[in-house]
Amino acid sequence: MIRLFLRLWLITGACFVVSVLGLNLLLDRIYSPVQDALFVQQLRGQVHTLREGLAGRDRAQQRQQLAQWQPHYGIALSLLDTPPTVSADEQAALRAHGFVVRDAFQWVLLPIDGAEGRWLSLRLPGEVSMTLHMTILAYVSVLSLLGASIFLWVRLLWRDLEILRGHADRIGAGDLHARAQVSPRSQIRVIVEHSNRMARRVADLVQGQRDLTHAVSHELRTPVARLAFGLDLVEEASEERRPALLQGMRADLAELNRLVNELLAYERLEHRDDDRRWPAVDALRWLQDSLADPLRDAAATGIGLALCRCDAASLHVDARLMQLALSNLVCNALRHARSQVQVSLLQTDDDCCLRVDDDGEGIAEADRLRVLQPFTRLDDSRNRDTGGFGLGLAIARRIAERHHGSVVVSRASLGGARLEIRWPCARG
């Protein structure tokens, strides 16, 4: 802290001293000629009066007259015993104004009798100026006050920087829940807020990775166990049973492959692309293309799937990712619907909304946030034909977040679950 304070103080003090000296020199250069001319004009009247009052008198009378005038003048009046030596510049000034000035306008000389070469001397009072000691004292006082102000500012700044450094040390030591607290008036308040947001983001990522690792190990346990058990059975099974056992093992491998693909899709969506601008797509055609495969699945299960509404003419979205999100919502609805699923695309002035309604059991209010987490299945089904892996809605949530939106779960007018992807329309 002391090094920072001294550096700032020296730089600021040097700038102050140089600025004052430079400003004085500049003002002297600008205003000195003006002041000189003004002084000459102010002195002309007194010079004329003195010259006229002394003209035509001998030296003794002039000295007597000056003695009478002296108490009424604030300047020293005297006659010179010998004429002064006048330079060329002073001769020009004498011709122009009738008198000569010396010693920075503190001494005025004027001829009063050209024949005898008598000159009158006017000594003005010296200017009241600061002595060297007073000047040094003034500069030291100003620099001391400046140093005290800088020290106070640096002390407060350093205290907050120490808080931020301690926060970084705790994060580095593994305390991901540590947060820095500074005054709302702190100079680094914005930096601390960003640091806290970063810490929360890191904590969420680490916790998410832990949960994901635990969930993956849990999901892999069942198909791997079935494969191991199937291998044991294949070795001992008869020729007639082997095809069925191998078919089951192939199904387990397919399940593992689907799990890996969904995990890869989920992880690829981890990083948001805030600066991405997506081209416009035809909304109705995109919806029809996106629902082509789900329509075949719905027909196979006997559940009605209908596109009920399309408000938008075009959408600024990542068409491939948003199609994946919609497909996941529809597949989830088809698994839980009794007889029908409805899809709608709504648009307001600010937001777009993809809505999927079903007439199934619905999702309890207490589970509406939990269902969006990876590997969450409210029915706890382990059947790969109906339960899935619990990644579909989590993938849809990440796709919505990539579009600066969210997934909202509520109750549908059909009686089942309503799943909506909402995002800003102006993201183009």
- Which tens digit of pLDDT belongs to each residue from 127-155? 655 567 787 888 888 889 988 998 888 88
Which candidate, 400, 398, 399, 392, places its Cα nearest to that of 417?
Answer: 392
Provide the H-helix boundaries in 98-188. Answer: 132-172
The answer on pLDDT for 405 being more than 80 is yes
Cα(173)–Cα(110) distance, integer angstroms: 89
> Would strands 76-79 and 304-310 be described as parallel, antiparallel, or unpaired?
unpaired
Q: What is the pLDDT of residue 359?
A: 93
Count the helices and strands in the chain (H runs, E runs). 10, 11
Q: What is the pLDDT of residue 13?
A: 86
**Interval 285-300: pLDDT, tens:** 999 999 998 998 898 8
Q: What is the pLDDT of residue 230?
A: 79
**Interval 345-382: pLDDT, tens:** 998 888 899 999 999 998 888 888 888 887 776 655 43
Position of tokens 């509404």? Answer: 309
> Would strands 304-310 and 340-347 be described as parallel, antiparallel, or unpaired?
parallel
Q: How confident is the model at residue 422 (pLDDT cuts 50, 70, 90)?
A: very high
Beta strands in 234-363 (DSSP E): 280-282, 304-310, 314-316, 340-347, 351-358
Residue with the larger pLDDT of the pair 389 and 203? 203
Residue 77 and residue 69 in contact, taking contact as beta carbons nearer than 8 Å:
yes
**Interval 46-64: pLDDT, tens:** 888 888 888 878 888 888 8
Cα(271)–Cα(268) distance, integer angstroms: 7
Separation in Å, CA 235 to CA 1, 186, 238, 239, 253: 75, 73, 9, 10, 18
Q: How confident is the model at residue 233 (pLDDT cuts 50, 70, 90)?
A: confident
Percent pLDDT > 70 in the chain is 90
Cα(305)–Cα(296) distance, integer angstroms: 9
Q: Which helix (H) or strand (E) holds 102?
A: strand 100-102
Q: What kind of fold does domain 277-424 have according to CATH?
A: Heat Shock Protein 90 (3.30.565)
Q: Where are the domains of the chain?
A: 2-123, 277-424
Tokens standing for residue 382 = 């382990």
Q: What is the pLDDT of residue 345?
A: 92
Q: What is the pLDDT of residue 389?
A: 64
Kindly report the number of other CB atoms within 10 A of residue 238's CB atom: 6
C-alpha 234 chain-centroid distance: 64
Cα(207)–Cα(201) distance, integer angstroms: 10
Q: How confident is the model at residue 244 (pLDDT cuts 50, 70, 90)?
A: confident
Cα(298)–Cα(356) distance, integer angstroms: 14
Please state the rounded mean pLDDT for residues 28-34.
78
Q: What is the pLDDT of residue 382?
A: 37
Please state the rounded mean pLDDT for residues 121-126.
79
**Interval 258-311: pLDDT, tens:** 777 777 777 777 665 555 678 888 999 999 999 998 998 898 889 999 999 888
Q: In what order do the strands lie in the sheet with 118-123?
A: 76-79, 118-123, 107-113, 100-102
What amino acid occupies position 198?
M
CA atoms within 13 A on the CB side of 114: 3
Q: What is the pLDDT of residue 131?
A: 67
350: exposed, middle or buried (C-beta count within 10 Å: 0-12, 13-18, 19+)?
exposed
Tokens standing for residue 77 = 């009046």
Position of tokens 């400046």? Answer: 146
